[in-house]
Amino acid sequence: MRVAMYYGNKDVRTEEAPVPEIGAGEILVRVMASGICGSDVMEWYRKDRVPLVLGHEIAGTVEKAGAGAKDLRRNDRVAVSHHVPCGSCRYCLKGHETACETLRKTNFFPGGFAEFVRVPAINIEKGGVYPIPDNVSFEDATFIEPLACVLRGQRIAGVKKGDTVLVIGSGISGLLHVKYARASGAGVIAATDLSKYRLDAAKRAGAGHVFDAAEYSPQKLKEINGGFLADVVIICAGAGPAVRQGLDSVERGGTVLFFAAAEKDLAIQKPINDIFWRSETALTSSYAATPAEHLEAMRLISSGRVAVKDMITHRFGLAQAQEGFGLVAGAKDSIKVIIEPQK
């Protein structure tokens, strides 16, 4: 089979690899669509482990099902979680399933930028395979995983109806946060970015106010929000200036959610008292999502409550994966880039 082998953001090669063999309780999935995530282009995070076949936002059909692969048959349309929690460790029992050691060790093989992937039995046993509703396309189903991460992030951040939400960074994650905050009844929703292209996308996604990040200041947020800062700030950009803007933009009693991974070794020097003393400000983070959150994300997409198709800007066959990675790494005139491994 063909795979897109990742050596670096500017070096993604189409190579041949054996079709994975499956065992009892496993399935082989023919990948029909796979989204490129912003985390896929974090070179500093990958460089010591290349070459790799990346891709974790996948949708496809069951090609083969091993003995004991419960309720799964050839040609079933499915989306698949690359990680699943065990459900019984101290982290899972405390509601921190994505801190689970099992979640950090599980994965499908070799990765979503391949014609086929092997899904291990544990991913199936722990609820990490989701039948795709008939009204959801393979492309739309690639949004299940990133939207599930957004659901988890906003739950942890405590976004409530009527809240003022500021999203720092209007890439795909930021836009999904805008859409979900709007669908959940948030009040004022504002977004920032350096790209006019992405700011226009944020407006279409439901942001009532957008700001060029190079010109943004907390005072500008106050001017459109009755003199107040944000109840919830969601940081979807990893650059130092973005993080500083986020920390400076939260209202007393508010929450800052660190959603995107920061630049390698980024450290922000800010007096502790400026953040916490007398303000009751909370800083928190989220990572990945649970099977239950994946199912909720699928329901939101299937019902049309969160529309996703309008965010797809580019589609490439497997042989053009390098072009897709270049667009995502460049963070310019693109939103969601989909790889179609069967083309």
CATH number for 322: 3.90.180.10
Model confidence at 272, pLDDT cuts 50, 70, 90, reads: confident
- Residue 276's pLDDT is 85
Do 198 and 273 lie in one domain? The reply is yes
- Residue 210's pLDDT is 98
- Residue 271's pLDDT is 87
Do 86 and 212 lie in one domain? The reply is no
pLDDT over threshold 90, residue 208: yes
pLDDT over threshold 80, residue 332: no
Beta carbons of 12 and 120 less than 8 angstroms apart: no
Whole-number Å distance between alpha carbons of 326 and 236:
19
Give the count of alpha carbons within 13 A of 118, CB side only: 17
Do 75 and 113 lie in one domain? The reply is yes
Whole-number Å distance between alpha carbons of 50 and 68:
34
- Residue 268's pLDDT is 84
pLDDT over threshold 80, residue 9: yes
Do 90 and 15 lie in one domain? The reply is yes
Model confidence at 269, pLDDT cuts 50, 70, 90, reads: confident
72 falls within a domain: yes
pLDDT over threshold 90, residue 331: no
- Residue 194's pLDDT is 96
In this prediction, residues 197-209 reach a mean pLDDT of 98
Contacts of 227 (CB under 8 A, 6+ apart): none
Do 127 and 77 lie in one domain? The reply is yes
Domain-terminating residue out of 246, 270, 285: 285
> Model confidence over 37-94: pLDDT tens digits?
999 999 999 888 999 999 999 999 999 999 999 889 999 999 999 999 999 999 999 9
Q: List the CATH number of the domain containing 247.
A: 3.40.50.720
Do 40 and 91 lie in one domain? The reply is yes
Least Cα distance to 82 among 149, 135, 22 occurs for 149
Do 52 and 95 lie in one domain? The reply is yes
Domain range holding 211? 148-285
In this prediction, residues 189-193 reach a mean pLDDT of 98
Do 118 and 70 lie in one domain? The reply is yes
Do 139 and 155 lie in one domain? The reply is no
- Residue 70's pLDDT is 83
Do 7 and 136 lie in one domain? The reply is yes
Least Cα distance to 181 among 234, 245, 252 occurs for 234
- Residue 274's pLDDT is 83
303 falls within a domain: no
299 falls within a domain: no
Model confidence at 277, pLDDT cuts 50, 70, 90, reads: confident
pLDDT: which is higher, 160 or 274: 160
81 falls within a domain: yes
pLDDT over threshold 90, residue 199: yes
160 falls within a domain: yes
Average pLDDT value over all residues in the chain: 96
- Residue 41's pLDDT is 94
- Residue 98's pLDDT is 97
**75 is written with which tokens?**
């040609």
Task: Kindly report the number of other CB atoms within 10 A of residue 125's CB atom.
Answer: 15
Do 215 and 317 lie in one domain? The reply is no
328 falls within a domain: yes
pLDDT over threshold 80, residue 104: yes
pTM check: above 0.75: yes
pLDDT over threshold 90, residue 338: yes
- Residue 223's pLDDT is 98
Do 18 and 106 lie in one domain? The reply is yes
Q: Which residues pair with 209 in a beta bridge?
A: 190
Beta carbons of 16 and 4 less than 8 angstroms apart: no
User: According to DSSP H, which parts of the chain are helical?
Assistant: 43-46, 90-93, 101-105, 121-125, 138-141, 144-157, 172-183, 196-205, 218-224, 240-248, 272-275, 291-303, 321-330
194 falls within a domain: yes
293 falls within a domain: no
Model confidence at 221, pLDDT cuts 50, 70, 90, reads: very high
Question: What is the domain count for the chain?
Answer: 2
